[in-house]
Structure 1
Amino acid sequence: MKKAFSAHHTLADLLIDLQMAMQACGVWDCETPTLQALQSQEPFCIDTMSFEQWLKFVMIERFRVLLETGGTLPTRCHISPMAEEAFKDKPQESVAILVRCLDLIDQHLSNPS
């Protein structure tokens, strides 16, 4: 129980860092996707929304629900490479920080200690 509790708290902290990195990169204030867009079955909802929309309204929201309910966290995660591609037109210093936040989330979920 204590281990799961700690994993949830770590993820909560990482999500706060991700939000701040997205704000610094200028990708946090994005349009809310439609309900239809949220129904996409494609990875990252790539067919219906931008990557920043997916991060904010799908990934972060799903993680928040898991944190609030004490749900089981995923055991595999590999999101940062998609961010590198999606944000290649943004200032690279900001993107590097954002990608680092996603790397830490990827590592935390893929290598639970």
Structure 2
Amino acid sequence: MTTEMRVRQQLHLIETLLREHGQWQSVAPDASVFDSTQPFCMDTLEPFEWLQWVLIPRMHALLDGHHPLPGSFAVAPYYEIALDSSHPARDAVLAQLEVLDALFTGDDE
């Protein structure tokens, strides 16, 4: 399986987890929240919102357009800090984000 296929598969897995944990939103936030200059739009979006409305669609757009994927990539460290340890979806989503990160570092073997 190619890296691109594995990345797409991992994105689908993360989306599924967000849906299973009731973190997937049916209505997009106001467009102004995407004007943030902060990493992960941390001043305008909640962590799971950023996954849904920024990371997942942008990664799919790269894949759909056959554009190069980022050479380095790490979102799991942010989520380790950003998500409260008592959040019911934290551990499951964090584990899948670590798998996604590993696809970009070559540590996925």
Same fold (TM over 0.5): yes
Bigger proportion of residues as helix: 1
The TM-score normalised by the length of structure 2 is 0.85
Q: Percent identity?
A: 23
Is residue 2:16 matched to residue 1:20? yes
Conserved in 2, the CA contact under 8 Å of 1:14 and 1:101?
A: yes
Q: Which runs of 5+ in 2 are unaligned?
A: none
Tell me the equivalent position of 1:84: 80
RMSD of the TM alignment (CA)?
A: 2.0
- Aligned pairs for 1:42-61 (under 5 A) are 42-61=38-57
| Equivalent-residue separation in structure 1 for 2:77 and 2:21 (angstroms) | 16
Distance 1:25 1:87, change over 3 A: farther
| Equivalent-residue separation in structure 2 for 1:101 and 1:34 (angstroms) | 28
Structure 1's consecutive aligned runs of 4 or more residues displaced over 6 angstroms after TM superposition are: none
Conserved in 2, the CA contact under 8 Å of 1:14 and 1:105?
A: yes
| Equivalent-residue separation in structure 1 for 2:42 and 2:91 (angstroms) | 22
